[in-house]
Amino acid sequence: MYEVFADLHVHIGRSKTNKPIKITAARSLNFENIAKECVERKGINIVGIIDCASPYVIEDIEEFLKNGEAYEIEDGGIIYKNKVCIILGSEIETSEVNEDGKTGSAHNLCYFPTLKDIKAFSNEMKNHIGNITLSSQRANISAYELIDIVKKYNGILIPAHAFTPHKSFYGNCTSRLERIFKEKYKDIPAIELGLSADTFLADKISELETKTFLTNSDAHSLPKIAREYNKMLLEKISFKELLKVLKNEDGRKIVCNYGLDPKLGKYHRTYCETCEKNIEGEAPVTTCPYCDSKNITMGVYDRIEIIKDKEKTISPRFRPPYVYQVPLTFIPGLGSKTIDKLLNHFDTEMTILHKLSKDDIEAVVGEKVANLILLARDGKLSIEAGGGGVYGKVTTKA
Ligand SMILES: [Zn+2]
Ligand SMILES: [Zn+2]
């Protein structure tokens, strides 16, 4: 067995024929460019592209498979240049009713082994979604119903960014996933933590002790691929092996989660929409202490404080370490030219963030930036928490 890097949540902006897929994502983010970026700049070995149920993207994939450098394998997944395994996925928004009868919506990551499977899934979902060509569309069914459709086409379902305030199960629909999925809860192998949460926060909820935690980028542009990722131990890169990793079977597992310090995420603390500011007081903040308004966007940290059923974080024995990483774009004084310079010298961002010595970095970009990258590696930067859709900030000066 050997170790690989995986990022299972990457969006597509446009199809190659320039049809919009995810409007808020970059135009350059198409199927082929994602595959290339993973191989050439990111060092990612398994990538989940989650807009593959769009018929325009399906056309792109069919074209992509014709060129010879990419092919489907029997165990599921598309291998490109013998270096990266592309997992075909689809993000679906479901409609839920929570404990007090209010309605909410949640995002679900659905992954499939073959193009044939996701095509069939796409075809069936046309009955439940207004416009199947676009990303992350709302379906008129609940996740309890969606999971059956996913299973019918040999797929798996994973709750996406499980705690974010607007489109997630814990953030918007429920305090317990088991209430949503009932007897099917056991069929969910993992949850995605999202940028504003980490293992230490999520392991305050006991129903998650049987689930694997995923740290994915939710990238809306090429540079953001792998801002969070998972290091996995497996036998080869394929859908089948990925499934074993998620289920912790036969020695396959996630060895380490690499993610942002959750304070850097866009929804870490509660944000007052009236005062337009983040509230850093003692959690949970549910009312603005400045204007008494309840017109707030709940922070992930605050929400977990409300729904947790453990006083202290207790992780199950199989839980891998969670290593904070500060992507280069978050480091103050590091513009895109300097980042390009670093990447040209050292290959991938992962090498720069986690492996290189201070001397090596300093030789290319000078002492100040090198110091910051090292401080980030040791978790010693000071960070102003994010909230209300605005990322947190590194406040240590270069
Ligand atoms: Zn989403
Ligand atoms: Zn306020």
Query: 15-41 pLDDT, tens per residue?
Result: 999 999 998 888 899 999 999 999 888
Instruction: Answer yes or no: is 306 within a domain.
Output: no
Quick check: 76 and 156 in contact, CB under 8 A? no
* Residue 256 and residue 334 share a domain: no
Distance 164 CA to ligand 2 centre (A): 20
pLDDT value, residue 27: 87
pLDDT value, residue 151: 98
Instruction: Answer yes or no: is 63 within a domain.
Output: yes
Taking each helix axis from N to C terminus, what angle separates 358-365 and 367-377, rounded to the nearest 10 degrees? 140
Instruction: Answer yes or no: is 372 within a domain.
Output: yes
pLDDT at 83 > cutoff 80: yes
Neighbours of ion ligand 2 (CB under 5 A): 272, 274-275, 288, 290-291, 293
Instruction: Answer yes or no: is 315 within a domain.
Output: no
Closest ligand to residue 279's CA: 2
For CA atoms 369, 373, 378, 383, the dihedral sign is positive
Quick check: 88 and 19 in contact, CB under 8 A? no
Distance 271 CA to ligand 2 centre (A): 8
In this structure, what token pair is assigned to residue 53? Answer: 């149920």
Closest CA to 258 of 300, 226, 211: 226
- The domain boundary residue, chosen from 262, 277, 293: 262
Q: How far apart are CA 212 and CA 236, in angstroms?
A: 19
Q: What percent of the chain has pLDDT over 90?
A: 77
| Buried b / exposed e along 22-40 (16+ C-beta atoms within 10 A) | beebbeebbbbbbbbbbbe
Q: How far apart are CA 219 and CA 25, in angstroms?
A: 8
Distance 24 CA to ligand 2 centre (A): 28
Distance 75 CA to ligand 1 centre (A): 27
* Residue 343 and residue 274 share a domain: yes
Distance 6 CA to ligand 1 centre (A): 18
pLDDT digits (tens, 9 = 90+) for 119-145: 999 999 999 999 899 988 899 999 999
pLDDT at 99 > cutoff 80: no
Q: How far apart are CA 177 and CA 292, in angstroms?
A: 31
223 pLDDT band (50/70/90 cuts)? confident
pLDDT value, residue 239: 98
Distance 101 CA to ligand 1 centre (A): 23
Q: How many residues does the chain have?
A: 398
pLDDT value, residue 146: 98
Closest ligand to residue 219's CA: 1
Instruction: Answer yes or no: is 313 within a domain.
Output: no
Quick check: 288 and 265 in contact, CB under 8 A? no
Beta strand pairing call for 78-80 and 84-97: antiparallel
Closest ligand to residue 162's CA: 1
* Residue 155 and residue 29 share a domain: yes
* Residue 293 and residue 250 share a domain: no
Mean pLDDT, residues 344-353: 85
Number of domains in the chain: 2
Quick check: 322 and 200 in contact, CB under 8 A? yes
pLDDT digits (tens, 9 = 90+) for 228-254: 999 999 999 999 999 999 999 999 999
Contacts 24+ apart (CB under 8 A), 305-308: 306/175, 307/170, 307/175, 307/176, 307/205, 308/204, 308/205
- The domain boundary residue, chosen from 246, 262, 278: 262
* Residue 117 and residue 140 share a domain: yes
Query: Tokens 């056991």 label which residue?
Result: 186
Mean pLDDT, residues 73-81: 97
* Residue 272 and residue 218 share a domain: no
Mean pLDDT, residues 290-305: 94
pLDDT value, residue 334: 85
Query: Tokens 């689930």 label which residue?
Result: 211
pLDDT value, residue 171: 95
* Residue 273 and residue 228 share a domain: no
Residues facing residue 213 across a β-bridge? 191
pLDDT value, residue 68: 79
397 pLDDT band (50/70/90 cuts)? low
pLDDT digits (tens, 9 = 90+) for 156-203: 999 999 999 999 999 999 999 999 999 999 999 999 999 999 999 999
Closest ligand to residue 267's CA: 1
Contacts of 359 (CB under 8 A, 6+ apart): none
Q: How far apart are CA 80 and CA 85, in angstroms?
A: 6
Mean pLDDT, residues 303-330: 94
Coil/strand/helix, residue 220: coil
pLDDT at 398 > cutoff 60: no
Torsion of CA 39, 41, 46, 52, to 10 degrees: -90
Quick check: 360 and 237 in contact, CB under 8 A? no
Element (H, E) at 241: helix 239-247
Mean pLDDT, residues 27-56: 93
Instruction: Answer yes or no: is 320 within a domain.
Output: no
In this structure, what token pair is assigned to residue 79? Answer: 């291998």
Distance 321 CA to ligand 2 centre (A): 37
In this structure, what token pair is assigned to residue 149? Answer: 């459709």
* Residue 331 and residue 254 share a domain: no
Closest ligand to residue 274's CA: 2
Print the domain residue range for 115.
Answer: 2-262
Which is more confidently placed, 351 or 235?
235
69 pLDDT band (50/70/90 cuts)? confident
Contacts of 369 (CB under 8 A, 6+ apart): 331, 333, 334, 338, 361, 398
Q: How far apart are CA 228 and CA 266, in angstroms?
A: 14
Beta strand pairing call for 46-49 and 2-10: parallel
CATH code of the domain containing 98: 3.20.20.140
Instruction: Answer yes or no: is 194 within a domain.
Output: yes
* Residue 174 and residue 37 share a domain: yes
Closest CA to 120 of 91, 151, 141: 151
Q: Per the confidence metrics, is the pTM higher than 0.75? A: yes
* Residue 59 and residue 24 share a domain: yes
Longest dimension (CA), the chain: 62
Instruction: Answer yes or no: is 318 within a domain.
Output: no
Contacts of 126 (CB under 8 A, 6+ apart): 132
| DSSP secondary structure string for all residues of 22-39 | STTS-TT--HHHHHHHII
Mean pLDDT, residues 252-257: 98
pLDDT value, residue 115: 98
Computed over every residue of the chain, the mean pLDDT equals 93
Q: How far apart are CA 144 and CA 232, in angstroms?
A: 29
- The domain boundary residue, chosen from 262, 290, 317: 262
* Residue 192 and residue 82 share a domain: yes
* Residue 136 and residue 92 share a domain: yes
